[in-house]
Amino acid sequence: MIDDLVVRNEALAAKHEEQQHMIDALQDEGADTVEANEKLGFAVDAREYLQCAEILFDLGLCKVRVISNNPDKLKALQDAGLQIVERIPIEVPAEEPAAHYLKTKKEKMGHLIGS
């Protein structure tokens, strides 16, 4: 059974690596991260946070401080029943290409990023 899980995990990792190569290729052609995912039929952000909340509950936590600029992450954790007592923003100076990536996150995904 463990061998089956390892094989499935390796197959899933290979699939994700292939998808990331396709996203990278579109970005090399000028698409931003949102456009690349949409062109390939992928969710703009496919991450799920329920398991994160479950782990925190298992550790006895129900109130958390979250280091994130992602409002969807905050909402998902709150919807799972966690109380967010503080959001700590991530603010770092960014140069290209990271500056373009962060601008896309802010403008297209609503990330809570300063100027």
Examine the domain organization and report whether 41 and 55 are in the same domain: no
Confidence of residue 12 (pLDDT cuts 50, 70, 90): confident
Examine the domain organization and report whether 72 and 20 are in the same domain: no
Which one of the listed residues 8, 24, 47, 79 is annotated catalytic? 47
Q: Assess whether 26 and 58 both reside in one domain.
A: no
On the CB side of 114, CA atoms within 13 Å amount to 7
Rounded to whole angstroms, how far apart are CA atoms 21 and 24?
5
Clarify whether 87 is annotated catalytic: no
Into how many domains does the chain fold? 2
- Alpha-carbon torsion angle 115, 37, 19, 25, nearest 10: -70
Q: What is the pTM assigned to this prediction?
A: 0.74
Could you tell me if 38 and 58 lie in one domain?
no
Residue-averaged pLDDT of the chain:
88
- The verdict on 16 and 31 lying in the same domain is yes
Looking at the fold, whether 24 and 67 belong to one and the same domain comes out as no
Query: In this predicted structure, what is the pLDDT of residue 62?
Result: 96
**Residues 51 and 104 placed together within one structural domain of the fold:** yes
- Selected residue with higher pLDDT from 83 and 11: 83
Structural domain containing residue 115? 47-115
Residue 71 has pLDDT above 70, yes or no: yes
* Catalytically annotated residue among 32, 45, 72, 87: 45
